[in-house]
A and B are shown apart, each in its own frame.
Chain A
Amino acid sequence: MRDFQIVVLWSDVLFAVLLAALAAGVAYAFRHEHLRRAWHTVFANRSAMAALVILLAYLLVTVLDSFHYRPALDQPDGVPQTKVQYSVEVLSLLDVALTTLRDTREKTYSAPFATHFFEKQMLEAPDGKQYRDYPRLKFGGAHLKDPAERAGDIAVRAAGGAALGGMLWLLAMLPIVRGVACSHQWTLTKAAREVLRGGTQIAWDGFAWALLFVLVLAGVLGTLSGHYHVFGTDATGNDVLYQTLKAMRVALMIGTLATLVVLPLGIGLGLAAGYYRGWVDDTIQYIYTVISSIPYVLLIAAASLMMTMLIERNGALFATAASRADAKLVALCAIIGAISWTTLCRLIRAETLKLRELDYVQAARCFGVSSLRIMLRHILPNAFHIVLITVVLDFSGLVLAEAVLSFVGVGVDPTSISFGMMINKARGELARDPLIWWSISAAFVFMVSLVLAANLFADAVREAFDPRALPSRRRLRLGAAK
Chain B
Amino acid sequence: MIAYLIRRLLWALPTLLGVNLLVFALFFVVSSPDDMARAQLGAKRVTQEAIERWKADHGYDKPLFYNDNAQGSKQFTDTIFVQKSARMFLLDFGKSDLGRDINHELYARMWPSLALALPVFIVGLFVAIVAAMVLAFFRGTWLDYSGVIACVVLMSISSLFYIIAGQFIVARTWNLVPISGYEGGLDSIRFLALPVLVGVIAGLGSNVRWYRAIFLEEIGKDYVRTARAKGLSEGAVLFRHVLKNAMIPILTGTVVVIPSLFLGSLISESFFGIPGLGSFTIEAILMQDFAIVRAMVFIGALLYILGLILTDLSYTLVDPRVRLQ
Chain A residues in contact with chain B, CB under 8 A? 286-287, 289-291, 293-295, 297-299, 301-303, 305-307, 309-310, 312-313, 396, 400, 403-404, 407-410, 419-420, 423, 426-427, 430-431, 440, 444, 447-448, 451-452, 455-456, 459, 470-471, 473, 476-477, 479-480
Contacts and interface: CB of A to CB of B under 8 A. Distances in A.
B201 interface: no
B139 A480 contact: yes
B31 interface: yes
B134 interface: no
Contacts of B220: 479
A426 B167 CA distance: 13
B316 interface: no
24 contacts: A290-B19, A290-B22, A293-B305, A295-B263, A295-B300, A298-B297, A301-B281, A301-B285, A301-B293, A306-B31, A400-B158, A404-B158, A404-B266, A408-B282, A408-B285, A409-B285, A409-B286, A427-B271, A430-B172, A448-B161, A451-B155, A473-B145, A477-B140, A480-B139
Given A302-B27, A310-B30, A409-B285, A294 B39 contact: no
B18 A295 contact: no
A423 B300 CA distance: 27
Contact of A476 (B22, B140, B164, B168): B140
B286 A295 contact: no
Contact of B18 (A290, A313, A410): A290
Chain B contact residues: helix, strand, loop or mixed = helix
B15 A286 contact: yes
Given A294-B301, A309-B39, A410 B285 contact: yes
A195 to B, nearest CB: 24
Nearest to B145: A473
A448 B156 contact: yes
A302 B294 contact: yes
B15 to A, nearest CB: 5
Given A295-B260, A408-B266, A427 B164 contact: yes
Given A295-B300, A419-B158, A427-B164, 10 more contacts: A294-B19, A294-B301, A294-B304, A306-B30, A310-B35, A400-B158, A400-B159, A408-B285, A423-B158, A423-B161
Interface residues of B, number: 54
A464 B216 CA distance: 19
B288 A305 contact: yes
B26 interface: yes
B267 A407 contact: yes
Contacts of B305: 293
B157 interface: yes
B26 A302 contact: yes
B140 A289 contact: no
B88 to A, nearest CB: 13
B156 A286 contact: no
Give the most central of A298, A420, A455: most B CB within 10 Å. A298
Contacts of B19: 290, 293-294
B238 interface: no
A404 B18 contact: no
Contacts of A426: 164
A44 to B, nearest CB: 17
Interface in B203-226: 213, 216, 220
A63 B12 CA distance: 46
B300 A298 contact: yes
Nearest to A396: B156
Contact of B266 (A289, A297, A479): A297
A420 B159 CA distance: 11
Interface string B249-265: 00000000000100100
B153 interface: yes
B15 A306 contact: no
Interface string B135-173: 000011000110000001101111111001001100010
A470 B216 contact: yes
A310 B34 CA distance: 11
Nearest to B152: A455
Contact of A403 (B14, B18, B22, B160): B160
B221 to A, nearest CB: 13
